[in-house]
Amino acid sequence: MSDEMENLPAQPGIADFDAIIVGAGFAGMYMLHRLRELGLSVRVYETGEGVGGTWYWNRYPGARCDVESLEYQYGFSDEIQRDWTWRERYATQPEILRYQNYVADRLDLRRDIQFETRVSAAIYDERAGLWTVETDRGERTNTRFCIMATGCLSAARVPDFIGLDDFEGQWYHTGDWPHEGVDFTQKRVGVIGTGSSGIQSIPLVAEQAAHLTAFQRTANFTLPAGNRPLTSDEVARSRETLLDDRKRARTTPGGIIAFEYNETLVDDMTPEERDRELDSRWHKGGFAFLGAYADLMATHEANHHAAEYARTEMRKVIENPEIADILMPDDHPVGVKRLCLDTGYLETFNASHVDVVDVRASPIERITPRGIVSGGKEYEVDCIVFATGFDAMTGALTSIDIAGRGGVKLKEKWAAGPRTYLGLGSAGFPNLFFITGPGSPSVLSNMIVSIEQHVDWIGECIGRLTSGNVRSIEATAEAEDLWVAHVNELADMTLFPQANSWYMGANIPGKPHVFMPYPGGVGVYGEKLAEVAAADYAGFALNA
Ligand code: NA7
């Protein structure tokens, strides 16, 4: 661009759409609905052939949400919730995907969604004050507002193992599972990874497989989910209370009302009281275990009691003590990597056709045409399941070529870790919004509550901009710096930074180790969002 052009005043250009939304999962679907209510023209681009996002891609056996179904649903419409019936305490992937399709039908969302289209770039045109969005179909579309509803766990990652191309069997990633399903009958299966996806899928794959070998780098804390069918009374009660429950959920730390926090410090409890609390929560199932006392996630001393309790319970169900030793988590405090909820995971290792290889002690060296080599030994398999996780929180965003003011690339700006104000926007990227972006509660909360919190805020903001005389909104560098420092400060008051987790970017070689979600809780965060909006978007620059 010449100097002469740089000096020209911004000329509002003519947009093809008022807003473009990237992604048609829970976030993109609700954002589309909200913006339509404002009377805006909206286009959604979605890579998949249908709505669903996470629940469209993660079709592996055993895939289930770890937040209870009565809380893991939209809370913005009484009609929608009243006409849907959840069947189990924790919904399966097919049930959640059916629900999303039901919502898409009810709101007639698909007419504004272009499927099978991946957004490859979003470039800000400063003179026109518009974003140009490019897709892998070669389209270029202009928009005033660009909203990334790209999900926190959507960039599936297969590690760069030497030899994978030569593998003669079939391989799959849990986050990109074949729609027609996979039949493992008579197969020798290697599952690499024992996070939630490995822990959920291993029992079901083992039911079919001739032999299953789990390749475990980190033993994880896992507790029985306690899944069961919901009673008709529970469903009926929830129908009457959902909207009020949702208001309450927004004031809680995790956006989950079933998760009750005990405010007492562990040192103020007797050992019997402490163990009673841990015991009742363990057997109830769910994340409530981590709320057994106030400092469980704050100090090693406090955490240790819960971790010991968990290990004792986990050991009880494993028959072979040597296998139990391998499966026992001992290198991180409980809860700092995402706690897993399982159905029969540890019990699966009591079967004679299931074993586990500790690849922390002997990392996977390579894949051969016939199997997986670790510790100099080749484990022959017919199929490999990569339950190896995601480039979490930032991967889906940095895989799009996003360029803001002055052509600055988001990926370069975030090279040392994501920088946002409130997880909603980033300085230098006007009118670009992230739903549940890094720096917001996101993955530490009930995602749907956090999604609704963000969509409502963004919707109100865009409504105010479009009805007023404001062309664009953009986080200031000062507000962003303070927010990033604040998130780090809060994270340092917890044990979170002390594990090699995907919260820290530690699962991706070369990714900076920075704690990405906001750990202050949905309630406190919501108050901050409301204050910022009430103060005419303090910390954002509004440009006429
Ligand atoms: P996770 O939780 O990131 O788990 C991935 C697993 O894969 C974990 O056990 C990793 O070990 C393991 N892994 C990753 N790379 C390798 C290599 N190179 N070698 C061996 N093992 C490896 O992903 P999930 O899909 O299970 O769950 C993601 C979230 O989805 C979950 O938390 C829920 O919120 C839903 P590591 O722990 O890094 O040592």
Structure pTM? 0.95
Kindly report the protein residue whose alpha carbon is nearest to atom 30 of ligand 1. 196
Q: Calculate the alpha carbon distances from 181 to 68, 90, 176, 178, 184 in Å.
A: 25, 21, 11, 5, 10
Residue with tokens 């001739």: 210
* Percent above pLDDT 90 for the chain: 94
Q: Is 387 in the pocket of ligand 1 (CB under 6 A)?
A: yes
| 397 — pLDDT class (breaks 50, 70, 90) | very high
Task: Answer for the pair 175, 152: CB distance below 8 angstroms, yes or no.
Answer: no
Q: How many CB atoms lie within 10 A of CB 243?
A: 13
Whether 274 has a pLDDT exceeding 50, the answer reads yes
Strand partners, 229: 88
State which ligand 1 atom lies nearest to the alpha carbon of 389.
23
CA of 190 to the centre of ligand 1 (A): 15
pLDDT at 260: 86
**How far, in Å, CA of 397 to CA of 347, rounded?**
38
- 520 sits in the region (left: phi over 0; alpha: psi -120 to 50; else beta) called alpha
**pLDDT tens figures, 483-498:** 999 999 999 999 999 8
Which 3 state secondary structure label does DSSP give 443?
helix
Whether 99 has a pLDDT exceeding 50, the answer reads yes
Q: How many CA atoms lie within 13 A of 341 on its CB side?
A: 22
pLDDT at 10: 46
Whether 87 has a pLDDT exceeding 90, the answer reads yes
CA of 199 to the centre of ligand 1 (A): 10
Q: What element of type H or E holds 140? A: strand 140-148
**pLDDT tens figures, 335-359:** 999 999 999 999 999 999 999 999 9
Kindly report the protein residue whose alpha carbon is nearest to atom 16 of ligand 1. 388
Name the residue of 54, 197, 447 whose CB sits within 8 Å of the most ligand 1 atoms, as the mutation to test its pocket.
Answer: 197
Whether 6 has a pLDDT exceeding 50, the answer reads no
Contacting residues for 38 by C-beta, under 8 A, at least 6 apart: 459, 462, 463, 466
Whether 4 has a pLDDT exceeding 60, the answer reads no
Kindly report the protein residue whose alpha carbon is nearest to atom 29 of ligand 1. 196
- Between strands 222-224 and 340-342, the pairing is parallel
Whether 1 has a pLDDT exceeding 60, the answer reads no
| 2 — pLDDT class (breaks 50, 70, 90) | very low
Q: What is the mean pLDDT of residues 347-375?
A: 96
**pLDDT tens figures, 50-84:** 999 999 999 999 999 999 999 999 999 999 999 99
Q: What is the mean pLDDT of residues 251-275?
A: 95
Q: What element of type H or E holds 540? A: strand 540-543
pLDDT at 211: 98
Contacting residues for 540 by C-beta, under 8 A, at least 6 apart: 421, 425, 473, 474, 475, 476, 479, 532
State which ligand 1 atom lies nearest to the alpha carbon of 193.
7
Whether 130 has a pLDDT exceeding 60, the answer reads yes
pLDDT at 170: 98
- Which tokens belong to 62? 């055993």
**How far, in Å, CA of 35 to CA of 363, rounded?**
49
* Percent above pLDDT 70 for the chain: 98
State which ligand 1 atom lies nearest to the alpha carbon of 199.
26
Q: What is the mean pLDDT of residues 107-118?
A: 98
Kindly report the protein residue whose alpha carbon is nearest to atom 25 of ligand 1. 389
**pLDDT tens figures, 228-238:** 999 999 999 99
pLDDT at 12: 64
Q: What is the mean pLDDT of the chain?
A: 95
